[in-house]
């Protein structure tokens, strides 16, 4: 059987030395569990990377519903949008319009949220060019911007950068092929009280103590005027400015991102699980600065306002399982990055899922994920 | 007292096309540079003077900007070089274009040069070049990063300077990396400048006679007042093919600071904070070796506010690039009125703006005196002396040359040795 399991076995990396003083929820039996089982292939449309991958997908892929229509964004240097009656019946992708300047730069839409009035809000991962090396995109230092659309994401208004690292916090001698610094590779979700959007992002800054998965938040009330309104979690409070501020990672790097032997969680993808009544984050786990994927992990928290409430990440898929699940991709394309749970029921998305959903990596799914309540036994 | 108020005007001045006049001025500003007890008369005679005379219009090919109805835009210094009997010119507007021909008056065949896959989609200006003995063309560009302060916006930006090399006279370029940049944290997104939150750019470089160093004269828009103005940096000639990390900036009397992220002590410091509405400073130096004077000559813009409104164009002299204190105090060679006269391109007749056919179009407006002004031209930016004899360029000029602003010239410039009278 194509087994892939992850019953909260606790396997995976030991906790980083710089873990927060408060122990994370980890007691066996008090946390949800999950298992993966084989399912028919679903391939998101993605972008045509000629001669390389006709369905290139290079980030989280956010989705939303408008009436009976399901919309999905895939990104690789620029976002495209597809739509259809459900995830299994999506049409041809169209490039979206990000704005005059942004359309010639490299941006990824990594999260969206549909407001009650029909406005679609989104957040983009932007990678500046020439950060360290002239005439070269890489290494870069990403920033996170906030955008708004009135046509379900075909065209976007840019509302400015909401999260960014100190521009001097870069290491151009990094061993990373991609990131000399910056903050990106994220997802955003609105809390149940509609008070805050919570950003869970990857921090590649110069300072080792600030590398890992960070969290920041922006008031829902500030969604149309977000500049200077996002705050990063730092030393137990949302006290640091979103742009240029310091952060305390909720999952700190174990080894420096900029060294060859980097050990870091990155690329969080969050959803609200209606069956568990808790938030679930999937995480990549890189074991070197080239982001070689050691495994994919899950963590749970029922209260977004408590960044210390996230459970110890538990591996749901190891390297071998990843390679099996993404078979068919070119070897050099099979990174196993961007794990994402997407609910398949009407109204469900990357942000909302019930007991069963689809488990994606790089926009490809051959696995179904089933969530189990604490103590619940596998079928 | 502002330095330019001490300039002595010794002749009538008019650049009206209908009236040929002459401008001569003497620079008495070397007192600070030569505090060795010379008499005032001796100092007066110690510096060259210049005469500006009306001359037939010369319009560089420039860059077409259809969305602004501009056909000859030139938005920086415009470097030139010779290869055999062919003169090559680079004009820029967010990207460089090259034209060529037998001389400055017969340039054509303009095309967009290839800066590299990544650079071609960014905003880059080639502001200086130098042709090596083996035929290699070296250059330096002003790069303006996008979204420094605002998402989906090019400006405010914070420029940097990169070094490039070409083996085909600048049709295609190989990027050798950034060599001069400010501290990336040194930006002021609350600036009143419409363009620059920080950074270093708007420059020219030149090789010294001993072929030891390329000297860069650029503009620092640093948020720190004490680092604003015209700065100097240098790169050893021997490092021209591997320049990364090799440039040193002039700081506190020595070449002590790294080209990237290092501090500067401006050669000509700002007079008022650039980032405030009334910011005042010299910027955008253009340098050449004057074979008649046997001196280095630098032209400078002088901004009287943070929008870089030009209140005059200035000149400074030096015999030795290695001596920072050798530069004479900048003296005005063209006032704001002179700039406007020299860049007037037509007249208003019966409410219609009449301009010469095929010369320039776009961004026109009627001035109060019945003339027609093209806003881009009338800025007076990017003053440049270009020698017109065979072998002469923006880097080399003799007794006479052409005086350009924004790629257009209606003035000839004549250099006079100390004490020499105008013709």
Lowest mean pLDDT across A108-122, B52-66, B139-153, B345-359: B345-359
Quick check: A105 and B147 CB within 8 A? Answer: yes
CB contacts of B157 in chain A (<8 Å) are none
Computed from CA positions of residues A170, A172, A173, A174, in that sequence, does the dihedral angle turn out positive or negative? positive
State in Å, rounded, how far the first CA of chain A is from the last one.
Answer: 15
Q: Compute the mean pLDDT over every residue in chain A, rounded to the nearest whole number.
A: 92
B121 vs A99, A100, A104: nearest CB: A104
Burial (CB count within 10 angstroms: exposed 0-12, middle 13-18, buried 19+), residue A86: middle
Quick check: A130 and B145 CB within 8 A? Answer: yes
pLDDT tens digits, one per residue of A167-217? 999 999 999 999 999 999 999 999 999 999 999 999 999 999 999 999 999
**How sure is the predictor about A335, in pLDDT bands with cuts at 50, 70 and 90?**
confident
CA B249 to chain centre: 19
User: In sequence order, what E strands does B66-173 have?
Assistant: 70-73, 80-83, 86-92, 96-101, 108-112, 123-131, 137-144, 160-166
Quick check: A134 and B115 CB within 8 A? Answer: no
CB contacts of A129 in chain B (<8 Å) are 118, 122, 145-146
Q: Which helix (H) or strand (E) holds B317?
A: strand B310-318
Listed in sequence order, the residues at least 6 apart from A368 whose beta carbon sits closer than 8 Å to its beta carbon are: A36, A37, A38, A39, A356, A357, A358, A359
> Is the pLDDT assigned to residue B352 strictly greater than 80?
yes
Residue percentage of chain B with pLDDT more than 90: 77
CB contacts of A143 in chain B (<8 Å) are 147, 151
CB contacts of A101 in chain B (<8 Å) are 146-147, 152-154
Residue percentage of chain B with pLDDT more than 70: 88
d(CA A316, CA A299): 10
> Is the pLDDT assigned to residue A313 strictly greater than 70?
yes
Q: What is the mean pLDDT of residues B330-338?
A: 96
> Can you read off the two tokens belonging to residue A266?
């990155």
Q: What is the mean pLDDT of residues A154-176?
A: 97
Task: Measure Cα distances from B176 to B145, B164, B165, B244 in Å.
Answer: 17, 5, 7, 7
pLDDT tens digits, one per residue of A226-262? 999 999 999 999 999 999 999 999 999 999 999 999 9
> Is the pLDDT assigned to residue B123 strictly greater than 50?
yes
Looking at residue A15, what is its pLDDT? Answer: 37
pLDDT tens digits, one per residue of A117-146? 999 999 999 999 999 999 999 999 999 999
Looking at residue B375, what is its pLDDT? Answer: 75
CB contacts of A161 in chain B (<8 Å) are 147, 150-151
Nearest C-alpha in A relative to B187:
A167
> Is the pLDDT assigned to residue B37 strictly greater than 50?
no
Looking at residue A25, what is its pLDDT? Answer: 63
Quick check: A161 and B152 CB within 8 A? Answer: no
**How sure is the predictor about B27, in pLDDT bands with cuts at 50, 70 and 90?**
very low
Burial (CB count within 10 angstroms: exposed 0-12, middle 13-18, buried 19+), residue A74: buried
Residue percentage of chain A with pLDDT more than 70: 91
Looking at residue B15, what is its pLDDT? Answer: 34
CB contacts of B151 in chain A (<8 Å) are 102, 126, 143, 145, 158-161
Quick check: B146 and A105 CB within 8 A? Answer: yes
pLDDT tens digits, one per residue of A40-79? 999 999 998 877 788 899 999 999 999 999 999 999 999 9
Measured at the CA of A84, the angle between CA A273 and CA A148, to 5 degrees, comes to 70
> Is the pLDDT assigned to residue B220 strictly greater than 90?
yes
Model-level pTM? 0.87
Task: Measure Cα distances from A282 to A242, A266, A299, A300, B314 in Å.
Answer: 23, 9, 7, 9, 63
Q: Compute the mean pLDDT over every residue in chain B, rounded to the nearest whole number.
A: 88
d(CA A325, CA A364): 8
> Can you read off the two tokens belonging to residue B398?
């003799």
ipTM of the complex: 0.84
Quick check: A129 and B177 CB within 8 A? Answer: no
Looking at residue B262, what is its pLDDT? Answer: 98
**How sure is the predictor about A330, in pLDDT bands with cuts at 50, 70 and 90?**
low
Looking at residue A26, what is its pLDDT? Answer: 57
Quick check: B151 and A126 CB within 8 A? Answer: yes
Looking at residue A220, what is its pLDDT? Answer: 98
> Is the pLDDT assigned to residue B360 strictly greater than 80?
no
Lowest mean pLDDT across A14-23, A307-316, A323-332, B115-124: A14-23
Interface of B with A in 122-141 (CB under 8 A): 122
Backbone angles phi, psi at B228, to 5 degrees: -95, 145
pLDDT tens digits, one per residue of B301-321? 999 999 999 999 999 999 999
What 3 state SS string does chain A have?
Answer: CCCEEECCCCCCCCCCCCCCCCCCCCCCCCCCEEEEEEEEEEECCCEEECCCEEEECCCCCCEEEECCEEEEEEECCCEEEEEECCCCCCCCCEECECCCCHHHCCEEEEEEEECCCCCEEEEEEECCCCCCCCCCCCCECCEEEEEEECCCCCECEEEEEEEECCCCCECCCCCCCCECECEEEEEEEECCCCCEEEEEEEECCCCHHHCEEEEEEEEHHHCCCCCCCCEEEECCEEEEECECCCCCCCEECCECCCCCCCEEEEEEEEEEECCCCEEEEEEEEECCCCCCEEEEEEEEECCCCCHHHCCCCEEEEEHHHHHHHCECECHHHCCCCCCEEEECCCCCCCCEECCEEEEEECCEEEEEEEEECCCCCCC
Q: What is the mean pLDDT of residues B265-283?
A: 98
Q: Which residues of chain A have a Cβ shorter than 8 Å from any chain B Cβ? A: 98-102, 104-105, 126, 128-130, 133-137, 143, 145, 158-161, 166-168, 170
Distance from CA of B162 to the nearest CA of A (A): 7
Q: What is the mean pLDDT of residues A353-368?
A: 96
Which 8-state DSSP code applies to residue B144?
E
Domain ranges of chain A: 33-372
pLDDT tens digits, one per residue of A263-296? 999 999 999 999 999 999 999 999 999 999 999 9
> Is the pLDDT assigned to residue B25 strictly greater than 80?
no
A126 vs B121, B147, B176: nearest CB: B147
> Is the pLDDT assigned to residue B55 strictly greater than 60?
yes
For the domain made up of A33-372, give the CATH fold: Tachylectin-2; Chain A (2.115.10)
> Is the pLDDT assigned to residue B376 strictly greater than 80?
no
Buried b (16+ CB within 10 A) or exposed e, B248-267: bbbbeeeeebbbbebbbbbb
pLDDT tens digits, one per residue of A16-37? 344 444 566 655 578 999 999 9
Task: Measure Cα distances from A26 to A296, A301, A315, A354, A370 in Å.
Answer: 18, 11, 13, 22, 20
Lowest mean pLDDT across A282-286, B39-43, B61-65: B39-43
Burial (CB count within 10 angstroms: exposed 0-12, middle 13-18, buried 19+), residue B370: exposed
List B260's β-bridge partners, or say none.
B181
């Amino acid at each position: 059987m194509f087994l892939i399991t992850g019953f909260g076995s606790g396997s995976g990396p030991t906790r980083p030395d710089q873990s927060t003083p408060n122990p994370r929820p980890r007691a066996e039996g008090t946390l949800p569990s999950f298992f993966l089982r084989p399912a028919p292939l679903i391939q998101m449309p993605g972008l045509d990377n000629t001669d390389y991958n006709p369905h290139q997908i290079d980030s989280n892929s956010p989705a939303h519903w408008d009436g009976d229509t399901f919309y999905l964004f895939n990104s690789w240097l620029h976002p495209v949008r597809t739509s259809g009656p459900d995830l299994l019946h999506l049409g041809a992708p169209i490039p979206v319009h990000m704005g005059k300047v942004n359309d010639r730069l490299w941006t990824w839409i990594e999260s969206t949220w549909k407001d009650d009035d029909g406005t679609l809000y989104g957040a983009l991962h932007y990678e500046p060019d020439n950060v360290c090396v002239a005439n070269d995109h890489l290494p870069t230092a990403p920033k996170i911007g906030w955008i708004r659309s009135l046509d379900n994401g075909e065209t976007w208004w840019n509302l400015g950068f909401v999260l960014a690292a100190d521009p001097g916090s870069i290491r151009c001698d990094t061993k990373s092929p991609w990131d000399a610094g910056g903050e990106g590779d994220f997802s955003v979700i609105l809390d149940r009280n509609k008070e805050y959007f919570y950003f869970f992002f990857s921090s590649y800054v110069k300072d080792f103590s600030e590398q890992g998965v960070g969290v920041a938040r922006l008031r829902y009330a500030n969604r149309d005027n977000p500049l200077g309104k996002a705050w990063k979690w730092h030393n137990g409070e949302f006290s640091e400015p979103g742009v240029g501020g310091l952060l305390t990672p909720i999952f700190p790097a174990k080894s420096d991102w900029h060294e060859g032997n980097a050990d870091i969680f990155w690329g969080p993808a969050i959803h609200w699980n209606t069956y568990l009544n808790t938030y679930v984050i999937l995480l990549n786990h890189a074991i070197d600065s080239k982001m070689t994927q050691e495994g994919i992990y899950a963590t749970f928290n029922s209260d977004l306002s408590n960044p210390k409430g996230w459970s110890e990440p538990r591996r749901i898929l190891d390297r071998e399982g990843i390679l099996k699940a993404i078979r068919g991709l070119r070897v050099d394309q099979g990174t196993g990055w961007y794990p994402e749970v997407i609910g398949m029921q009407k109204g469900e998305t990357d942000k909302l899922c019930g007991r069963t959903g689809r488990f994606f990596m790089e926009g490809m799914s051959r696995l179904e994920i089933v969530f189990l309540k604490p103590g619940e036994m596998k079928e | 007292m502002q330095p330019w108020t001490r300039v002595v005007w010794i002749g009538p001045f008019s650049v009206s096309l209908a009236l040929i006049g002459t401008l001569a001025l003497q620079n008495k500003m070397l007192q600070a540079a030569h505090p060795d007890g010379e008499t005032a008369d001796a100092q007066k005679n110690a510096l060259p003077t210049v005469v500006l005379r009306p001359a037939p219009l010369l319009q560089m090919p420039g860059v077409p900007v259809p969305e602004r109805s501009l056909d000859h835009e030139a938005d920086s210094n415009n470097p030139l070089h010779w290869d055999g009997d062919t003169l090559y010119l680079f004009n820029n507007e967010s990207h460089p274009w090259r034209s060529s021909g037998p001389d400055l008056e017969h340039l054509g065949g303009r095309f967009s040069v290839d800066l590299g896959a990544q650079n071609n989609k960014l905003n880059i200006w080639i502001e200086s070049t130098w042709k090596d003995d083996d035929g290699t063309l070296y250059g330096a560009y002003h790069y303006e990063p996008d979204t420094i302060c605002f998402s989906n916006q090019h400006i405010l930006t914070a420029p940097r300077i990169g070094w490039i090399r070409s083996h085909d006279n600048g049709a295609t370029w190989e990027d050798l990396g950034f060599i001069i940049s400010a501290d990336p944290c040194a930006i002021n997104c609350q600036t009143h400048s419409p363009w620059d939150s920080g950074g270093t750019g708007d420059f020219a470089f030149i090789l010294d006679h001993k072929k030891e160093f390329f000297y860069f004269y650029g503009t620092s828009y640093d948020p720190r007042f004490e680092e604003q103005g015209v700065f100097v940096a240098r790169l050893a000639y021997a490092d021209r093919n591997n320049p990364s990390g090799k440039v040193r900036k002039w700081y506190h009397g020595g070449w002590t600071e790294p080209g990237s992220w290092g501090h500067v002590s401006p050669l000509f410091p700002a007079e008022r904070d650039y980032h405030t509405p009334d910011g005042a400073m010299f910027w955008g130096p253009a340098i050449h070796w004057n074979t008649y004077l046997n001196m280095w000559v630098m032209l400078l813009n002088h901004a009287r506010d943070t929008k870089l409104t030009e209140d005059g164009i200035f000149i400074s002299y030096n015999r030795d690039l290695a001596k920072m204190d050798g530069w004479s105090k900048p003296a005005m060679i063209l006032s704001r009125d002179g700039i406007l006269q020299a860049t007037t391109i037509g007249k208003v007749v019966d409410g219609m703006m009449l301009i010469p056919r095929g010369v320039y179009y776009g961004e026109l407006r009627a001035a109060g005196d019945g003339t027609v002004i093209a806003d881009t031209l009338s800025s007076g930016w990017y003053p440049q002396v270009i020698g017109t004899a065979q072998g002469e360029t923006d880097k080399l000029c003799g007794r006479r040359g052409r005086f350009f602003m924004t790629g257009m010239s209606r003035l000839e410039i004549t250099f006079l040795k100390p004490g020499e009278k105008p013709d």
